Amino acid sequence: MEYPNFSLTDQVALVTGASRGIGFGVARALAHAGATVAVAARATDELHTLVEEIQREGGTAVAFPLDVRDNAQIRATIEAVQTTLGRLDILVNNAGLGANHPALDVTEADWDEMMAVNLKGLFFCCQAAGRIMLQQGHGRIINMSSQASVVGIRDHAVYCASKGGVNQLTRVLALEWSAQGVTVNAVAPTFIYTPGTAERLDTPSYYQGVVERLPIGRVGTITDVAAAVIYLASPAGALVTGTVLMVDGGWTAQ
């Protein structure tokens, strides 16, 4: 019997939006699994902190500035990753925005800003990475979605729409690319405790309202999300493509 292999040794991974929160943790987890990690974000000072942490833990990481709202910069950065590190095996599309607006208060600027990052930027990162991976005959693309991609969340009309679009892009790209060795999947977390969500989740009434919807009885951790990413990026996930993996504590089972 062949046993599952979760190692990412000799793989090169790119994580967008890696300067904080889930992206920061996922990059560290990929390095721990053996990958050489390219970390990209607008906040380059925080990226250097991440690179130093990964190096202290015995891993290898390189920082690249990237604003996913700029398609030319996406192409240039992904080409730079390939040039610098020799290949690109894994893309984790983590860069994203969140906002809390009643639908009647959403402006055109609100809509355009979120779609530019969460959907348009994500697609063109997939496209640029896909060109390299298809040429290699191997690749793993993991898009960061959300439980809000499959159920409605009040006051999150634009966010829900953008993440629903992520799921559909994931399915279409999987159909187009999987036969050529490139799998495309999405990870859809529930509420995850991060420095960015701490202010809300540290409020007892807010936390209680969230946990009441979670059959598992707790919010998620960055490690919970990173574990799903490692699985989909690894040889163990080779047969999985076009899937939205819910990491939601049972929220969407109701």
Q: Does 215 map to a domain?
A: no
Q: Is the pTM of this model over 0.85?
A: yes
Q: Does 100 map to a domain?
A: yes
Per-residue pLDDT of the chain (254 residues; tens, 9 = 90+): 999 999 999 999 999 999 999 999 999 999 999 999 999 999 888 999 999 999 999 999 999 999 999 999 999 999 999 999 999 999 999 999 998 889 999 999 999 999 999 999 999 999 999 999 999 999 999 999 999 999 999 999 999 999 999 999 999 999 999 999 999 999 999 999 999 899 999 999 999 999 999 999 999 999 999 999 999 999 999 999 999 999 999 999 99
pLDDT at residue 13 in the model: 98
Q: Does 171 map to a domain?
A: yes
Question: Is 159 one of the catalytic residues?
Answer: yes
CA angle 163, 91, 160 (to 5 degrees): 5
pLDDT at residue 44 in the model: 87
Q: Does 209 map to a domain?
A: no
Query: Out of 3, 159, 206, 207, which one is annotated catalytic?
Result: 159
Q: Does 22 map to a domain?
A: yes
Q: Does 203 map to a domain?
A: no
Residue 33 sits in a domain whose CATH number is 3.40.50.720
Pairwise CA distance, residues 246 & 165, whole Å: 16
pLDDT at residue 214 in the model: 97
Q: Does 211 map to a domain?
A: no
Q: Does 121 map to a domain?
A: yes
Which residues face 13 on adjacent strands? 37, 90
**Which residues form the domain of 20?**
12-192+222-247
pLDDT at residue 128 in the model: 98
pLDDT at residue 57 in the model: 96
At 135, list the tokens: 């040429």
Domain count within the chain:
1
